[in-house]
């Protein structure tokens, strides 16, 4: 199970809204506590995808390494990666799977017409052939009523 704390949640949503209608991406910093991943901070990263950023994101390896260093400095760890899906549901795509690291959680936030519509989190098996949904708790969990349609 992964739980996103209020401050991290608000930072992620603000980032997603700020770059809308493009995808945002960032690092999830936090703690692992007896089967629970607690995300304490969302660290925005630059979407370095060289093409259209409306349906793809790319994290530079050097930025991810710096996020790891930042986590260590803060006494936490890099738990995962987040990104947004503008105007489509929160799902884990084939492209996401092909680029995933099995030791991270992958959180996807749906932003439709600039508003939060839903979120999901996944873990990836070691050979990157499948992603498994993981239970996600966040401050807006009870208000999700997705209306976005996949385009």
Q: Is 46 a catalytic residue?
A: no
Burial 87-105 (b: 16+ CB within 10 A, else e): bbbbebeeebbebbeeebb
- Residue 31 and residue 24: Cα distance in Å, rounded? 23
Residue among 23, 33, 46, 117 flagged as catalytic: 23
> In 10 A of CB 9, how many CB atoms?
21
DSSP characters over 32-77 = EETTEEEEEEEEEE----SS-SSS-----HHHHHHHHHHHHHHT-E
10 φ, ψ (degrees, to nearest 5): -65, -40
- Residue 94 and residue 98: Cα distance in Å, rounded? 6
- Residue 23 and residue 19: Cα distance in Å, rounded? 7
Q: Active-site residue numbers? A: 23
């Amino acid at each position: 199970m992964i739980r996103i704390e209020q401050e991290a949640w608000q930072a992620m949503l603000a980032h997603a809204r700020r770059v809308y209608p493009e995808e945002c991406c960032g690092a999830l910093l936090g703690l692992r506590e007896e089967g629970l991943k607690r995300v304490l901070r969302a660290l925005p990263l630059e979407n370095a995808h060289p093409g259209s950023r409306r349906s793809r994101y790319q994290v530079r390896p050097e930025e991810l390494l710096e996020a790891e260093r930042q986590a260590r400095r803060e006494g936490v760890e890099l738990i995962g990666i987040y990104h947004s899906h503008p105007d489509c549901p929160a799902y884990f795509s084939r492209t996401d799977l092909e680029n995933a690291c099995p030791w991270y959680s992958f959180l996807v936030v749906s932003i439709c017409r600039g508003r939060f519509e839903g979120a999901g989190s996944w873990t990836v098996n070691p050979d990157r052939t499948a992603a498994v949904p993981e239970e996600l708790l966040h401050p807006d969990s009870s208000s999700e009523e997705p209306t976005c349609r996949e385009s």
